[in-house]
Amino acid sequence: MHFLDQAKIYVKSGSGGPGAVSFRREKFIEYGGPDGGNGGKGGDIVFEAVPGLNTLIDFRYTQHFKAPRGKGGAGSNMTGAGGEDLVIKVPVGTQILSEDKEHVLLDFTRVGQREIFLRGGDGGRGNASYKTSTNRAPRQHGTGWPGEEAWVWLRLKLLADAGLLGLPNAGKSTFINAVSNAKAKVGAYAFTTTRPQLGVVSHRGREFVMADIPGLIEGAADGAGIGDRFLGHIERCRVLLHLVDANAEDVADAYRIVRDELEAYGAGLVDKPEVVALNKADTMDDELLDALSDELEAECGCRPFRISGATGAGVEEVLDAIAAHIGTLDAEAGGDEEKSAWSPL
């Protein structure tokens, strides 16, 4: 299945049904009078977040959504049937944006969340409702209120506990494949990852979701490389894992480039808790690793972990640090006792 995280669609709620013009005609009943019923209400446009979806690809092929209109009223004061609501199912993490992308209209952050986006039009009045003391046999009726319509953008921001960052070829795909059930593509060239990947990490009896996004390069905020389009997928991450390739010419500069792009992007990414790791540590000796760790620590302000996604060295310690951050944030948010009390064994 192809990954698509943005789609533009047209939605229109149903119009109300027309009211009826009818008069009561029964044998032996004089002055029957009007008995036209009201029209039915049009269907609403409803968005619902459902499990099992992680792409908006369906909206590439179906872009127009129209709810049915209400049925017309009938004699004997019968109200017309209402139009059925049109439920549009979207992945958890989807935002509904205005056509100019300036305003977030709805934000779906949990499974089962259901929101009415456009309300269907009310049904028109039947002629029975127009009867007055001076107008005993009205023939006017309402045609029903029109529905609402809009062009909107759907934008998917994947929900994950931890997000992977780094320059291209920092070893992010290898790492997420090693610690989770993800099957990210791995290759010895830049931008092997062209779309975000999600993986579920099982660690010391707990599980959390990790997201891997395409690598960033200098100028990504201005569109260089794949750009910063996919940074939106880690806006909701609670902790970031920043991988730095130990074979980089300047590890401090490699770290700084990514941090500068996060700052240029905004959305509070630079303020998120961060775990820094020096990856591919199996390719050099301890003396050189010590020197590189000192350089990186001077830049990031914390001692980086030494890991190897290929051999698994140091991976457990990094997962401990990530899970500890998640446990702390659960406690601050008032999470359950089991989550807030988590600590690495």
Task: Round the average pLDDT of the chain to a whole number and report it.
Answer: 84
Which residue would you say has higher pLDDT here, 258 or 86? Answer: 86
Q: Tokens at residue 343, please?
A: 């600590």
177 and 287 co-located in one domain? yes
251 and 324 co-located in one domain? yes
Q: How far apart are the first and last CA of the chain?
A: 38
Q: Tell me whether residue 45 is annotated as binding.
A: no
Among 212-226, 230-244, 248-262, 312-326, name the one with the lowest average pLDDT: 212-226
Q: What is the pLDDT of residue 248?
A: 83
106 and 127 co-located in one domain? yes
Q: Which residue has the tokens 């029903």?
A: 144
| Residue 290 pLDDT > 60 | yes
Q: What is the pLDDT of residue 345?
A: 35
* Spatial distance between the Cα atoms of 269 and 248, rounded to a whole number of angstroms: 24
Q: What is the pLDDT of residue 246?
A: 86
Burial category of 287 from C-beta neighbours within 10 Å (exposed 0-12, middle 13-18, buried 19 and up): exposed
Q: Tell me whether residue 100 is annotated as binding.
A: no
Q: What is the pLDDT of residue 70?
A: 96
Q: Tell me whether residue 177 is annotated as binding.
A: no
Q: In the chain, how many domains are there?
A: 2
Q: Tell me whether residue 246 is annotated as binding.
A: no
CATH number for the domain that contains residue 261: 3.40.50.300
Q: Tell me whether residue 32 is annotated as binding.
A: no
| Residue 160 pLDDT > 90 | no
pLDDT band at 337 (very low <50, low <70, confident <90, very high): very low
In a domain? residue 62: yes
Which residue would you say has higher pLDDT here, 186 or 6? Answer: 6
Q: Tell me whether residue 34 is annotated as binding.
A: no
Q: Tell me whether residue 217 is annotated as binding.
A: no
User: Could you count the other beta carbons within 10 Å of the beta carbon of residue 3?
Assistant: 15
Q: What is the pLDDT of residue 219?
A: 62
Among 119-128, 159-168, 328-337, name the one with the lowest average pLDDT: 328-337
Q: Which residue has the tokens 């979701």?
A: 209
Residue 244: strand, helix, or coil: strand
Q: Tell me whether residue 169 is annotated as binding.
A: yes
Q: Tell me whether residue 170 is annotated as binding.
A: yes
Question: What DSSP state is assigned to residue 16?
Answer: P
CA atoms within 13 A on the CB side of 233: 26
Domain finish residue from 110, 128, 156: 156
Which residue would you say has higher pLDDT here, 159 or 55? Answer: 55
Whole-prediction pTM: 0.70
In a domain? residue 324: yes
208 and 123 co-located in one domain? no
80 and 139 co-located in one domain? yes
136 and 181 co-located in one domain? no
User: Could you count the other beta carbons within 10 Å of the beta carbon of residue 295?
Assistant: 18
In a domain? residue 345: no
Among 21-30, 83-92, 275-284, 323-332, name the one with the lowest average pLDDT: 323-332
Amino acid symbol at 164: L
141 and 231 co-located in one domain? no
Cα dihedral across residues 319, 321, 324, 326: positive or negative = negative
Q: Tell me whether residue 8 is annotated as binding.
A: no
pLDDT band at 193 (very low <50, low <70, confident <90, very high): low
Domain extent at residue 265:
162-340
Q: Tell me whether residue 310 is annotated as binding.
A: yes
Q: What is the pLDDT of residue 161?
A: 85
CATH number for the domain that contains residue 112: 2.70.210.12
Q: Tell me whether residue 214 is annotated as binding.
A: yes
Compute the average pLDDT of residues 310-316: 85
Among 48-57, 63-72, 102-111, 115-124, name the one with the lowest average pLDDT: 48-57
Q: By the 8 A CB rule, do 166 and 215 touch?
A: yes
Question: What are the tens digits of pLDDT across the range 253-284?
Answer: 988 988 888 888 777 888 888 899 888 888 88
Q: Tell me whether residue 281 is annotated as binding.
A: yes
| Residue 136 pLDDT > 50 | yes
Q: Tell me whether residue 168 is annotated as binding.
A: yes
28 and 111 co-located in one domain? yes
Q: Tell me whether residue 309 is annotated as binding.
A: yes
| Residue 181 pLDDT > 80 | no
Domain finish residue from 156, 184, 210: 156
* Spatial distance between the Cα atoms of 91 and 32, rounded to a whole number of angstroms: 55
pLDDT winner (highest mean) among 3-7, 100-104, 222-226, 277-281: 100-104
Q: Which helix (H) or strand (E) holds 186?
A: none
Q: Tell me whether residue 167 is annotated as binding.
A: yes
Q: In the chain, pLDDT over 70 holds for what percent of residues? A: 87
